[in-house]
């Protein structure tokens, strides 16, 4: 579903960009070792989707239990706060062990995203499963799409 955004990126303007097409031909996307596919910079990653009656925010925060994430809404800004501990590389006797890769973000994080207008923060709900938080923010009643029946004359 979120792949829909990809459609805009691969739209017609790119068709004229012969150079990037050439590069894409040599280094095709979706390669398992594509370094750009490594999530970088932001933790946790966030997807936002909209349905007719609500806006849903998906927070991909692996390793956080449901009590590890604080979710605040103020003035249509959603703020996510939390902390993820790094994997301990220490031994029982305190000596550290070699670390071969450290790609996972650790430590404290704060992320804030602006929400669309017209959401009812009072009725917001959040769920957590398998490291993904789902925050459901219902639209206010008066902003929901409404069908207008045509009266017979």
Partner 1 sequence: MNNVVRSSNHSPLLQRGEEQRSQETLLPAVDIIEESNALKLVADMPGVTNETLKIELDNNVLSLEGEIALNMPEGLSALHAEVRGQRFARRFNLSHEVDSDAITATLVNGVLTLTLPKKDSHRTRRIEVQAA
The residues that touch partner 1, with contacts defined as CB under 8 A, are 1-7, 10, 29-30, 32-34, 37-39, 42, 44-52, 55-56, 58, 60-65, 86-87, 89, 91, 97-105, 113, 116, 130-132, 134
How many Å is the Cα radius of gyration of the chain? 22
Asked whether the beta carbons of 107 and 81 are under 8 A apart, the reply is: no
Provide the minimum distance between the beta carbon of 19 and partner 1 in the complex, in angstroms, as a whole number: 20
Nearer to partner 1, 6 or 153 (CB): 6
Nearer to partner 1, 104 or 140 (CB): 104
Find out whether 149 and 57 touch, Cβ atoms under 8 Å.
Answer: no
Question: CB neighbours of 116 closer than 8 A, spacing ≥ 6?
Answer: 50, 55, 76
Least distance to partner 1, CB of residue 153, Å: 27
């Amino acid at each position: 579903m979120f792949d829909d955004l990809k459609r805009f990126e691969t739209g017609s303007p790119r068709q004229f960009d012969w150079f990037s097409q050439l590069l894409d031909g040599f280094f095709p996307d979706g390669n398992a070792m594509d370094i750009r596919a490594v999530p970088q910079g932001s933790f946790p990653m966030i997807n936002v989707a909209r349905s007719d009656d609500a806006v849903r925010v998906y927070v991909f925060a692996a390793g956080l239990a449901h009590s590890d994430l604080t979710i605040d809404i103020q003035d249509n800004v959603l703020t996510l706060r939390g902390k993820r501990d790094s994997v301990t590389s220490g031994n029982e006797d305190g000596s550290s062990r070699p670390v071969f890769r450290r790609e996972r973000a650790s430590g404290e994080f704060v992320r804030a995203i602006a929400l669309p207008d017209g959401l009812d923060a009072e009725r917001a709900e959040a769920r957590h499963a398998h490291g993904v938080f789902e925050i459901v923010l219902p639209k206010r009643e008066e902003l929901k799409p409404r069908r207008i029946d045509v009266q017979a004359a």
